[in-house]
């Protein structure tokens, strides 16, 4: 019952803020551009405000190029309205000190928004390979790992996108591929064809769950992955070439900088250990337990600036490599995107991690 109430409360607050954002942007832009607020004005505002939630719902039941197009446009609008809101907040601050002509300010906001949207789409479309070196004691031999995270397969990132990831990963010739959650998005239909490119991955793959696997259905996703060559680790440990790979489930609701469940997983703390854990949480617990390297994702490094500023309010570690008491944490910015197919101030990334002898 508490979970249902929390769910209702969260979405009530979310949609209140979401609708208020649309109302403010439309109200302010109408004043700047001299647009009359008639029934058509409010109809367009309502249609655009409802476009993302409605197309998200439709995508769960229908499929096809038309549905994908409308969902993609709605997701892009979500990014555009956020950027427009940010620019208008800047405008409100500037106009306190400088008198700005209304039509020119409105046109400037629209123009800058358009440029940022185009840049964000192009920036998100190209996947960057980022190389990271991590020293680790007790290695039998130096190894290379590829971390994939937050691919968000669904309507926008389909099997062709996964094919590109597989081809780029194979070119790196890693010893292992570790997928740290949110493989799927929860939008669009996922089936065996969606995951078919994995059959061409040359390296052995391990997977741990993220929050979006819960939205898609954990049992359904595990069933699909069990038919591929992806090995699912659910609070389990496997050994590979002298290192231990620990895969933990996404912790569920709430944000707590702890990983109390790690103490229930038996592994040898005197041997090299890599932890796959979707949220960048519990790093202190992992270091204390004997984990040498924790691989996480979830934050998307904010995905679209200045949303990254809000991400930092909730997560201490938002992107990149961190060290604590000889242990390391790498937080991937994600290999795909959620919502708007855009990135500003972040990049879609395949992470090549070189484990070197300490």
Q: For helices 102-125 and 65-94, what crossing angle results, to 10°?
A: 130
What is residue 190's predicted lDDT score, i.e. its pLDDT?
86
Dihedral angle at the C-alpha atoms of 88, 93, 97, 100, nearest 10 degrees? 0
Q: CB 112: neighbour CB atoms within 10 A?
A: 15
d(CA 176, CA 7): 37
Q: CB 316: neighbour CB atoms within 10 A?
A: 13
What is residue 253's predicted lDDT score, i.e. its pLDDT?
67
Look up tokens 């052995």; give the residue: 204
Above 50 in pLDDT, residue 164?
Answer: yes
Residue 358: band (very low, low, confident or very high) from pLDDT cuts 50, 70, 90:
confident
What is residue 100's predicted lDDT score, i.e. its pLDDT?
84
d(CA 173, CA 146): 9
Alpha carbon 272 to its chain's center: 28
Residue 140: band (very low, low, confident or very high) from pLDDT cuts 50, 70, 90:
confident
Look up tokens 């500003």; give the residue: 344
| Cα angle, residue 314 at apex, residues 235 and 253 outer, rounded to 5° | 40
Residues 281-290 pLDDT 10s: 999 999 999 9
d(CA 147, CA 183): 12
Mean pLDDT of 194-218: 93
The answer to which of 104-108, 110-114, 306-310 has the lowest mean pLDDT is 306-310
Above 60 in pLDDT, residue 2?
Answer: no
More confident residue, 292 or 67: 292
Q: Which two tokens stand for residue 80?
A: 């555009």
Q: Average pLDDT of the chain?
A: 92
d(CA 154, CA 336): 10
Residues 49-81 pLDDT 10s: 999 999 988 887 877 888 889 999 999 999 999
Q: Residue 24: CB partners within 8 Å, gap ≥ 6?
A: 85, 88
Q: Which two tokens stand for residue 168?
A: 């780029």
Mean pLDDT of 235-244: 93
Domains and CATH numbers, the chain: 2-124 (no CATH), 129-357 (3.60.21.10)
Ramachandran angles phi, psi of 98, nearest 5°: -130, 135
This prediction has a pTM of 0.92
| Cα angle, residue 316 at apex, residues 315 and 319 outer, rounded to 5° | 85
């Amino acid at each position: 019952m508490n979970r249902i109430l929390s769910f209702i409360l969260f979405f009530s607050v979310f949609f209140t803020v979401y609708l208020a954002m649309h109302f403010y942007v439309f109200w302010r832009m109408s004043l700047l551009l001299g647009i009359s607020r008639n029934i058509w004005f409010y109809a367009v505002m309502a249609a655009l405000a409802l476009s993302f939630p409605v197309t998200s719902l439709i995508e769960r039941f229908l499929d096809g190029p038309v549905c994908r197009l409308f969902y993609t446009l709605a997701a892009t609008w979500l990014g555009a309205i956020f950027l427009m809101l940010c620019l208008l907040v800047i405008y409100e601050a500037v106009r306190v000190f400088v008198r700005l002509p209304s039509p020119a300010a409105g046109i400037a906001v629209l123009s800058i928004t358009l440029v940022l949207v185009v840049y964000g789409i192009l920036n998100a479309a190209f996947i960057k390979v980022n190389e990271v070196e991590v020293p680790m004691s007790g290695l039998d031999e130096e190894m290379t790992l590829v971390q994939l995270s937050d691919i968000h397969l669904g309507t926008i990132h389909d099997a062709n996108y996964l094919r590109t990831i597989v081809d780029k990963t194979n070119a790196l010739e890693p010893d292992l591929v570790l997928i740290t959650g949110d493989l799927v998005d929860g939008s669009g239909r996922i089936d065996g064809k969606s995951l078919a490119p994995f059959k061409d991955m040359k390296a052995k793959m391990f997977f741990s769950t993220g929050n979006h696997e819960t939205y898609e259905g954990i049992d359904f996703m595990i069933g699909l992955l069990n038919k591929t060559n992806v090995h699912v680790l659910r609070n389990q440990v496997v050994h590979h070439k002298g290192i231990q790979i620990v895969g933990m489930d996404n912790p569920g609701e709430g944000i707590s900088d702890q990983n109390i469940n790690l103490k229930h997983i038996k592994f040898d703390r005197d041997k090299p250990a890599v932890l796959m854990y979707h949220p960048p949480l519990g790093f202190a617990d992992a270091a204390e337990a004997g984990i040498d390297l924790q691989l996480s994702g979830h934050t998307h490094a904010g995905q679209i600036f200045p949303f990254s500023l809000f991400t930092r309010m909730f997560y201490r570690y938002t992107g990149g490599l961190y060290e604590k008491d000889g242990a390391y944490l790498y937080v991937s910015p994600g290999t795909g995107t959620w919502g708007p197919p855009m990135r500003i101030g972040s990049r879609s990334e395949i992470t090549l991690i070189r484990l070197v002898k300490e």
